[in-house]
Structure 1
Amino acid sequence: MKRKVIIIISLIYVLFMAALFVFYFSKDDSYRYLIAIGGIICGAVPLILVRFTKIKFNMPIMLSYLAFIFGSQFLGSILGFYGLGWWDTFLHFLSGALLGFVAIALFERMTHKQARHDISCWLVFLFVLSFAVLGGVLWEIYEFSGDQFFDMTMQGGGNTDTMIDLTADAAGGLVIAISAAIRTKRKFEKT
């Protein structure tokens, strides 16, 4: 059932972005139709994963991913929410939280259930926070590289933009890391 829901929502997003591509291409709006192409690709990622892997999907992560790309690509870039000033920071906070959830899922898949009793809640905290911050750092390297090598303006505010983005990523990851550490501690105190 989860796979079907992911397929349906992803297909809706891909078709929505495809319609936007056609619309903006016909208007010769290259900025927006290129974003729509990116939306088609990003929306197809869950479809490709469902089709070519046997990964059991964490529904909240997949829905959060699709909501995030909708907020970034459609609301942020196509509708211009990035012009609000706070939208980029809000999305970086959400991406930090989303990466924190991904870290929890990875942690649970990479450790044996019996071994988790011996793992400190502080290690879980550090793993989740570090994973979220690493994701933010890699994104900022991507933006910096685009600006340096392709004469783009992804880091509109330069160092200030980068530091605000990294702080927001860290804050989002911190919220999830604290929650994961508390949950881990409570879970293993009961046993």
Structure 2
Amino acid sequence: MKKWRFYNYLLAFIIISMVLSLSFTVVAVSTVPVTGRSKQLFLLLEIVLGIGILLLPQLVARLGHFKLPEILYILFLLFIYGSVYLGTVYQFYSRVPHWDKILHVGSAMLLGCLGYALIGIFVRGKQLTQLSPVFMAIFAFTFGLSIGVFWEFYEFAFDGLLGLNMQRFMAHGVLLRGRAALIDTMGDLFADALGTFAVALLGYMGIHRDVHWLDKFMFHKIAPKK
């Protein structure tokens, strides 16, 4: 029998939590009037998509015959749990101060780790030992921060196209001005920079001591069962 790792227990806990919420939401949809179902149906869709996103990495790993880096997968699970389940289902975005910024730090840490993983994918063997720890740290930092910047591009574009307020440039329907209109976006970017910098610094110290510290971010191939 295969021994369960920590991420297996974490995944099971999150899936059970989301399935329970899914059940409650289905009941809510069936009991509220038709005119008031749109919010519950949207919540139902988000929970279903969240469960699908949670299961996607392991499905891709099995099809591609590789092992997911444990630390990367744990950060991924925690981010989905915090954003989809706590953030949306339990409305932490509006109830918990700075919840959005906390998630930005977490996602930036995840992306910084992914930056190290990409180094492990494209550089192998002896070439990896010849790379400077400073270079690898800078790559991880710039990779994570760049994705954060592109995310702000996405929010800006869809705010304009769909009339959304993802960048919080309005408050109670009133347009903000000057620095007030920039606080949310700049706060997100500062949070991204903080998260990626923490991972880059930790990575630098680990790789400086031993380049094999990078192994924990590697995607290891698994021989397919015959």
* Same fold flag (TM > 0.5): yes
Count of residue pairs the alignment pairs up: 188
Distance of aligned partners of 1:168 and 1:102 in 2 relative to their CA distance in 1, 3 Å threshold: same
Instruction: Tell me whether 1:111 sits opposite 2:123 in the alignment.
Output: yes
Contact 1:14 1:44 in 2 (8 A): no
SS in 2 for 1:114: helix
SS in 2 for 1:21: helix
Q: 2:196 — aligned with what?
A: 173
Q: Deviation at 1:99?
A: 1.0
* Greater relative CO (CA pairs within 8 A, separation 6+): 2
TM-score, structure 1 normalization: 0.84
Q: Runs of 4 or more off by more than 6 Å in structure 1?
A: 2-5
Q: Where in structure 2 are the equivalents of 1:43-122 lying within 5 Å?
A: 43-83=54-94, 84-122=96-134
- Relative to its length, the structure with more helix (as a share) is 1
Q: 2:182 — aligned with what?
A: 159
Contact 1:92 1:169 in 2 (8 A): yes
SS in 2 for 1:152: coil
TM-score, structure 2 normalization: 0.72
Distance in 2, Cα, partners of 1:117 & 1:9: 34
Deviates more, 1:84-93 or 1:36-45: 36-45
Contact 1:10 1:47 in 2 (8 A): no
Larger Rg computed on CA atoms: 2
Q: Deviation at 1:2?
A: 7.9
Distance of aligned partners of 1:9 and 1:147 in 2 relative to their CA distance in 1, 3 Å threshold: same
Q: Percent identity?
A: 28
Q: CA RMSD in A?
A: 2.5
Contact 1:24 1:33 in 2 (8 A): yes
Unmatched segments (≥5 aa) in structure 1:
none
Q: Deviation at 1:93?
A: 0.6
Instruction: Tell me whether 1:24 sits opposite 2:36 in the alignment.
Output: no
Unmatched segments (≥5 aa) in structure 2:
30-39, 170-180, 212-226
